Amino acid sequence: MSNPDTYHAFMLDYATGNLSASMSLAATLHRLMTEEGDEVARTWEAVRDNIKPAREDHLEALFRMEDIAIEIINTDYHEVSWRKGLSGAQFCKLPENSGSLMRLQSGDRVFAHGHSALEAMIVLEGQLEDGRDTFGAGDLVLATPGERHRPAAAGNKACTCFVARADTPFWRFT
């Protein structure tokens, strides 16, 4: 997991409907794949409901997001049409600006970089090491603006992640 303050702010924004579609999908994947994600989401939803109950359209959007997340979780990642990215990783953009899938083969590493906006990654299979920690399936990895990381597949298996970025779409080399 990332910095606890950043993590809880992210999950609070998820519970209150303040995330973009791709970021909300990242939070939904984390929630469906880990007990911790579900517990934290439920806690922030209880706080939200005590202050101001969720709008009906927000709840409907969460249900639709769960369907998309389940489809991603059940994907056969060997059957995805991967494209080699500039970073060296393989990518597959998902429809409707809902993020992308990233795949690193065993031993693959992306160059060290930072982002100009928040990036959220969910490990879908394998393990991801980013220079700060090693993350497993369901883990939410948040990279804040200006924070450097160097994602790599850890272990002897490929690592597949869902990647969402905030609206500013360019990398910053810091």
Amino acid, single-letter form, for residue 22: S
Of 21 and 88, the structure prediction assigns the larger pLDDT to 21
With a cut of 70, say whether residue 57 has pLDDT above it.
yes
Predicted local confidence at residue 24, as pLDDT: 93
Q: Residue by residue, what is the 3-state secondary structure of the chain?
A: CCCHHHHHHHHHHHHHCCCCHHHHHHHHHHHHHCHHHHHHHHHHHHHHHHHCCCCHHHHHHHHHHHHHHHHHHCCCHHHCCCEECCCCCEEEECHHHCCEEEEECCCCECCCEEECCCEEEEEEECEEECCCCEECCCCEEEECCCCCECCEEECCCCEEEEEEECCCCCEECC
- Say yes or no: 61 and 86 in one domain: no
Tokens of 108: 């693959």
For residue range 82-133, list pLDDT tens digits in order. Answer: 999 888 799 999 987 679 999 999 989 898 888 888 999 999 999 999 888 9
Task: Tell me what pLDDT residue 54 has.
Answer: 72
**Sorting pLDDT into bands at 50, 70 and 90, what band is 173?**
very low
Tokens of 98: 């809902």
**24 and 99 in a common domain:** no
Query: At 96, which CATH number?
Result: 2.60.120.10
pTM given for the model: 0.90
What is the domain extent for residue 41? 4-73
What is the per-residue pLDDT across 138-159, written as a single tens digit (0 to 9) for each? 999 998 888 888 899 998 999 9
Q: Which residue has the higher pLDDT, 13 or 167?
A: 13
Mark which of 73, 95, 127 sits at the end of a domain: 73
Is a pLDDT exceeding 70 seen at residue 174?
no
